[in-house]
Amino acid sequence: MSPRLAIGIDLGGTNIKGAVVSSNGIILDRLEQPTDAARGPGPVMDDLADMVRRLQQRPPIPHERKGTVETNESNKFVGIGLATPGPLDLHAGRINHAANLPGWKDVRIRDSLREKTGLPVTLENDGNAAAYGEYRYGAGVGHDDLVMLTLGTGVGGGVILNGEIIHGHFDNAAELGHMIVVVDGFPCPCGQRGCLEQYASAGAIVRRVLSVDPGRKRMGADDLRAEDIITAALNGDPLCYQVWDEACQFLAVACINIQHAYNPSKIILGGGMSNAGAQLLDRVNAHFSSQAWSLHNDVPMIVLAKLGKDAGVVGCAALAFASR
């Protein structure tokens, strides 16, 4: 019987997520643990290999997304799909320099994981993997031309045209969080100024509120979260509403730029900030409509992601299937 399972691994600056995924996109088992990236690449790659081994050894358990899978020896793993932050060198299977993985520079991650596990490894940028997951199994099903923005601590992205991920000549296309939306704007760790993620990410809205009101804290805790700002905005807090509305306006500007650059049929908003649901979608769509051109009716649908935090692991597992 042909192979039917893949392992998806999503390596983030905070957590490592892993899952056993069937060929129809159903998660059968999952694991998650802190990355502790400051230890350096070696120990983290050992953790990745250990997570793969544990997922291989655990019997598959049907996930809440409906579906069935045989649980006998016919279940085989085609390989591993590995999603990581960029910039990447996909040809060499290397992380060039990941800002949220301290000390990770020129890390030969694909071949290292293959050597440690004995399984083929498909490496992909985390934003691209999430976009591919939504394309195959989520909000992008049936749309061969789409763009995804992942809205979390920063802003990531993925572009799919004619059903294929766009990588670009240097393997770093779709770094959409680093499109400049304000000339000489806020400095970004990437070295530019005025990047989208300095205005429209979860981290950005927290920083902007605290820059005006440094003493503001979440009830019962020291840290202020983006979720608290969104809730306060909806409850009439003037500062939080202004910051939230401006973030949505910058996202609308980004969507208009994406419209003209790629002409997709859909723009998908994912990541943690998409949990705001209609409070995000309605404001972005309102700002988009007020600023978009009227020369031609080529307006993409702007929608929320469907796979949530699973988009990355499902997407990179799907890429493992596609590469075999």
Query: Which residues, in sequence order, are CB contacts of 196 under 8 Å at separation 6+?
Result: 155, 176, 177, 178, 179, 180, 181, 250, 251, 254
Secondary structure (3-state) at 271:
coil
Residue 222, pLDDT above cutoff 80: no
* One domain, residues 215 and 272: yes
Number of domains comprising the chain:
2
Bridge-partner residues for 267, per DSSP? 147, 302
Look at residues 102, 127, 152 and tell me which one is the last residue of a structural domain: 127
The mean pLDDT of the chain is 90
Averaged over 122-131, what is the pLDDT?
Answer: 95
Averaged over 111-129, what is the pLDDT?
Answer: 95
Residue 68, pLDDT above cutoff 70: no
Confidence of residue 214 (pLDDT cuts 50, 70, 90): confident
User: Which of 236-266 are b and which e, b meaning 16 or more Cβ less than 10 Å from the residue's Cβ?
Assistant: ebeebbebbebbbbbbbbbbbebbeebebeb
Is 311 domain-assigned?
Answer: no
Whose structure tokens read 């899978």?
69
* One domain, residues 250 and 122: no
Q: Are 187 and 176 in contact (CB under 8 A)?
A: no
* One domain, residues 62 and 204: no
* One domain, residues 93 and 177: no
Give residue 260's domain range: 139-305
> Which amino acid appears at position 266 of this protein?
K
- CATH number at 48 reads 3.30.420.40
* Rounded CA Rg of the chain: 20
Q: How far apart are CA 210 and CA 205, in angstroms?
A: 9
Note the pTM of the prediction, 2 decimals.
0.89
Confidence of residue 25 (pLDDT cuts 50, 70, 90): very high
For residue 221, what pLDDT is reported?
59
Is 289 domain-assigned?
Answer: yes
* One domain, residues 83 and 156: no
Averaged over 78-105, what is the pLDDT?
Answer: 89
